[in-house]
Amino acid sequence: MRDATESLVLGGGCFWCLEAAFKVLPGVIGVDPGYAGGAVDSPTYEQVCTGETGHAEVVRVRYDPAVVAVERIFDLFFAIHDPTTPDRQGADIGTQYRSLVLYADEAQHLAAAAAVARARAAWPKPIVTELAPLAVFWPAEEYHRDFFAKNPEHGYCRVVIAPKVRKALDFAAVSRSRPARR
C-alpha cells in the first residue's frame, strides 16, 4: 500500500505562526516545526537564533494530496507571511526568519516557482522568497511543538499568531469549496 502523504518544508518567519496556521487547512495531516537551510548538524533553537548557522525556522507540512492540492498549500503560505521582506517577518528579524521554500524534488520546485509567479501578482513589491533544494530537516525541540495551542494567552500568540490563524481559517473555508486536483 502506497503512503498517500506528501510534505513540503517552508520558512516564513516564526515557525510557531506557520505551524498554527497550516494546522487548520483541510488535508493537512501534521505540521512539524524545525530548522533547515543551514550548515550546522542538529542545530538548537539557541544556535539558530544567533543567525550564524544559516538555518531558518521552518515547518514540514505533511498533507494528503487527494484532499488538498500543493498549489493551495503554497497559496496559503504566501497569504500568511510577507514574502517581500528579506530576513524578517514583522518584529522578527534575522536570516532565520527568511522566506524560504525547500523543495524535495523537481515537481515541488516547479510548483514552488509557479506559486512565486502567482504571488508576484498579489504583492506590490518584489518577492524575495528563496527556492532551494532540501538537504535535511532538523525537528525543533519539543517545547516548540503546538506552541500556539498550548499558550493561547501568550502575548506573541494573541498579537502575532492569532491573526494569521484567522486568515488561515478564512482561507480554509474557501479551500473546502475547491477540490484537490488529481
pLDDT in tens, 42-96: 999 999 999 999 999 999 999 999 999 999 999 999 999 999 999 999 899 999 9
C-alpha cell at 156: 506573541
Q: Which residue bears the cell 543551514? A: 38
Q: Where does 68-155 show beta strands of DSSP type E?
A: 88-89, 92-93, 99-103, 130-133, 138-139
Say what the pTM is. Answer: 0.91
Q: What burial class does residue 47 get, using C-beta atoms within 10 Å of its C-beta: 0-12 exposed, 13-18 middle, 19+ buried?
A: middle
Determine the pLDDT at residue 176. 55
Concerning whether 14 is annotated as a catalytic residue, the answer is yes
The average pLDDT across 156-178 equals 84
- List the domains of the chain with CATH numbers: 6-175 (3.30.1060.10)
How high is the pLDDT of residue 136?
97
Residues 77 and 106: beta-carbon distance below 8 Å: no
List the catalytic residue out of 14, 17, 49, 157. 14
pLDDT score of 175: 59
Cα(122)–Cα(34) distance, integer angstroms:
28
With bands split at pLDDT 50, 70 and 90, how would you rate the model's confidence at 1?
very low
Q: How confident is the model at residue 153 (pLDDT cuts 50, 70, 90)?
A: very high
User: Which DSSP letter does residue 137 get?
Assistant: -
Collapsed DSSP state (helix, strand, coil) of residue 74: helix
- Helices 162-175 + 15-22 axis angle, to 10: 30
